[in-house]
Structure 1
Amino acid sequence: MPGIGTLINVATIVAGAGIGLALGHRLPERTREITTVALGMVTLLVAALSAMEVTSAALVAAVGGSAPVLIVLASLLIGGIAGSLLRLEDRLADLGGLVRRLFTRSRVAVGAGGGPEGTAAPQEGAHRFVEGFVSSSLVFVVGPLAILGAISDGLGNGIDQLALKATLDGFAAIAFAAGLGIGVMASAVPVLVYQGAFTVLGVALGNFLPEASVDALTATGGLLLVGVALRLLRIRSLPVADLLPALLVAPVLTAVVAAF
């Protein structure tokens, strides 16, 4: 049944976040911070492995020896321009704030009733919720398995890739939620929408991505994950969401260059 892989993925994120929230209240602040640092380091490792696909034999054979790096560069530039004009980073942050208000409206109302001291905690909680929602959403959505696994599921080729991603996301959600709170659980929503859309695309269009385009997409996604890792490690907060359109541009550019 198409879509079952994404549903399993969503379930593991929610379950992992629940475990992380339970552990987070029992762990000291230093321990919660180190879990986020560890996740950032692993994300950096996965990013490096994905980015190495820029040297794949299929991509080089399709577009030439020097073109893959230029394709990734052009994809990031074009995608970044489009994403910044669409304000994707701001919109994702706004979505996090909206979901938080829906989840915690009653508690915020009670806290705000206490005057200046009552409003400080809700404001701090809002920032923490949005940070957890944005950071975890990017990690769960940006990875190439989110696209490739969902398409494979839609094609009826099984859910092996999404099962692997679900396992990874479940453990990641534990670490995220322990350090960043309940916003991580809400990130299951964009995962459901994003992967669900690619599953429908797989059902409708079939296997439309050649191996070279997949490799270009994977390499571009790897560089986006570097930005996510830098955010998690608190080195620099990059607007990674503004670069997400690059994942759509990379396969198109690969096909165009390969045609000439």
Structure 2
Amino acid sequence: MIGPIVNGAAVVIGSISGGALGERVPARVRNALPMTFGVASMALGIALIVKIKFIPAVILALLLGSLIGELISLEAGIQKFAAKARRLIDAITPARSNGVSHEEFLDKFVALTVLFCASGTGIFGSMNEGMTNDPSLLIAKSVLDLFTSAIFATALGFSVAVIAIPQFAIQAGLLLGAEQILPLTTPEMIADFSACGGAIMFATGFRICGIKPFPIANMLPGLLFIMPISAMWARYVTGIGG
């Protein structure tokens, strides 16, 4: 479980470093680099979307996922978690708001949670390590997460480090379950899973850049639906594997 540990440590170290630096980092850097990370998220999303095999299956998964996410108020739950984390961290360390309002903090925290926990690199890196014992993908992701968490922590404070907890839990779960999950999949299912995650990553980039506040957290359940829907689409609609 080297990859999840290294990735989680990178987020914690980056967050502590960025939170400690705070306003000592020039405002132009704090404002410009998150935009770059947003563009990078959109580029990664596009790279994953082009792998799509069955467009209707991906759309249906996103629609069902968004419906479930809205019904259970998934994003609101993450925001409550973020608010509690911020209060806890601020009680331990001096608050570093850097002019960030409570609403902006919650908005960026949700976007970062999705970016760190639901990226295609993290998901497939975890599953790949579970199957091959090769942590290289997650280690490569850790380098990017180190700098991403550091930059955002200059504005959001040490609370960014808390994201390492759900990130580690998700990656560890995927790693441990990879041996049972991957043998049940097909190339088409993997491709559509990538495309579904890519669509969410693309929307995350829009949110980070402040272009459009997509409810990205509420879209996450779509990742649970896409593989079964893709498999059923291939079997009953296209006849693949039938």
Residues 124, 162 of structure 1: alpha-carbon distance in 2 compared, 3 angstrom cutoff: closer
TM-score, normalised to structure 1's length?
Answer: 0.81
Distance between the aligned counterparts of 1:22 and 1:247, measured in 2?
35
User: Aligned-pair RMSD on alpha carbons?
Assistant: 2.3
The answer to whether 1:52 aligns with 2:62 is no
Distance between the aligned counterparts of 1:204 and 1:220, measured in 2?
21
- Of 35, 53, 59, the match for 1:37: 35
The answer to whether 1:212 aligns with 2:198 is no
Distance between the aligned counterparts of 2:26 and 2:70, measured in 1?
38
- Of 66, 70, 84, the match for 1:80: 66
Give deviations 1:191-217, integer Å, cap 9, x for gaps: 012112212222555633322211101
> SS at 1:187's partner residue?
helix
The answer to whether 1:161 aligns with 2:137 is yes
Distance between the aligned counterparts of 2:137 and 2:29, measured in 1?
31
Residue 146 of structure 1 and its aligned partner are, at CA, apart by 2.0
Residue 248 of structure 1 and its aligned partner are, at CA, apart by 1.4
Distance between the aligned counterparts of 2:28 and 2:127, measured in 1?
40
1:147 match? 123
> SS at 1:181's partner residue?
helix
Q: Which runs of 5+ in 1 are unaligned?
A: 60-67, 112-120
> SS at 1:182's partner residue?
helix
Judge which range, 218-227 or 178-187, deviates more.
178-187
Quick check: 2:100–2:155 contact (8 Å CA) kept in 1?
no
2:240 match? none
Residues 191, 106 of structure 1: alpha-carbon distance in 2 compared, 3 angstrom cutoff: closer
The answer to whether 1:173 aligns with 2:159 is no
Distance between the aligned counterparts of 2:119 and 2:79, measured in 1?
19
Judge which range, 126-135 or 147-156, deviates more.
126-135
TM-score, normalised to structure 2's length?
Answer: 0.87
Question: Which consecutive segments of 4 or more residues in structure 1 shift more than 6 A?
Answer: none
Residues 225, 132 of structure 1: alpha-carbon distance in 2 compared, 3 angstrom cutoff: same
Residues 82, 217 of structure 1: alpha-carbon distance in 2 compared, 3 angstrom cutoff: same
Judge which range, 155-164 or 5-14, deviates more.
155-164
Q: What is the number of equivalent residue pairs in this alignment?
A: 234
- Of 178, 195, 202, the match for 1:226: 202
Residue 103 of structure 1 and its aligned partner are, at CA, apart by 2.0
Residue 105 of structure 1 and its aligned partner are, at CA, apart by 2.9
Quick check: 2:65–2:222 contact (8 Å CA) kept in 1?
yes
Judge which range, 248-257 or 150-159, deviates more.
150-159
Give deviations 1:157-178, integer Å, cap 9, x for gaps: 3212212222221222223223
Quick check: 1:83–1:243 contact (8 Å CA) kept in 2?
yes
Distance between the aligned counterparts of 1:35 and 1:186, measured in 2?
21
> SS at 2:185's partner residue?
coil
Q: Which runs of 5+ in 2 are unaligned?
A: 237-242
Identity %: 26
Distance between the aligned counterparts of 2:153 and 2:136, measured in 1?
26
Distance between the aligned counterparts of 1:105 and 1:180, measured in 2?
15
> SS at 1:236's partner residue?
coil
State the one-letter code of the partner of 2:223: L
Quick check: 1:134–1:187 contact (8 Å CA) kept in 2?
no
The answer to whether 1:192 aligns with 2:148 is no
- Of 22, 25, 29, the match for 1:24: 22
> SS at 2:50's partner residue?
helix
